[in-house]
Structure 1
Amino acid sequence: MTRKTRQEPAPLLPELARGKLLTVEEAAERLNTTTRFPRRLIAERRITFIHVGRNVRIPEAALEAFIAAGVVEPITLTRRGEAA
């Protein structure tokens, strides 16, 4: 007779996945795009997402990180037109 071993607890969520979970529609609204763009990000694995049953949710922190990664700082020019 074999003894049943105790099942390991599920791993804790990564820090990026904590907090509010957004629907694809909510993420698209925040990005000011159609729902196709966040769905493409998910399909291409370019953004963190969570499956909740058949539903897909995007952590708010992951969306903010994605936006922050795309920020491009302006180039400031000096008097002679050289980049600073």
Structure 2
Amino acid sequence: MGVEELAEYLSVPVQTIYDWRMSGRAPRAYKFGKHLRFAAADIAEWLEQRHEDGPHE
């Protein structure tokens, strides 16, 4: 998945993906020439790491 597709999938601006990369908060990416690609498994792992638990009773 490319940067634009990831931004759309996460409902954030493309610039946010680049900002996250610069600050080390983005999912792991693969670079092919000038192009960044993100693997579905890496995105899923990244999302799981950011999962918030709901309120506990």
Indicate whether the TM-score tops 0.5. Answer: yes
Aligned to 1:30: 9
Q: Is 2:33 aligned against 1:56?
A: no
Unaligned runs of 5+ in 2: none
Q: Which structure has the bigger radius of gyration?
A: 1
Q: Between Structure 1 and Structure 2, which shows a larger proportion of helix residues?
A: 2
Whole-angstrom CA distance in 2 between matches of 1:52 and 1:68? 26
Superposition RMSD in Å: 1.3
Larger RCO (CA under 8 A, 6+ residues apart): 2
Whole-angstrom CA distance in 1 between matches of 2:21 and 2:52? 23
Unaligned runs of 5+ in 1: 1-21, 78-84
- Note the alpha carbon deviations across 1:10-44, whole angstroms, 9 max, x for none: xxxxxxxxxxxx11000011111111121122222
Identical residues among aligned pairs (%): 18
Number of aligned positions between the proteins: 56
Q: What is the TM-score with the length of structure 2 in the denominator?
A: 0.79
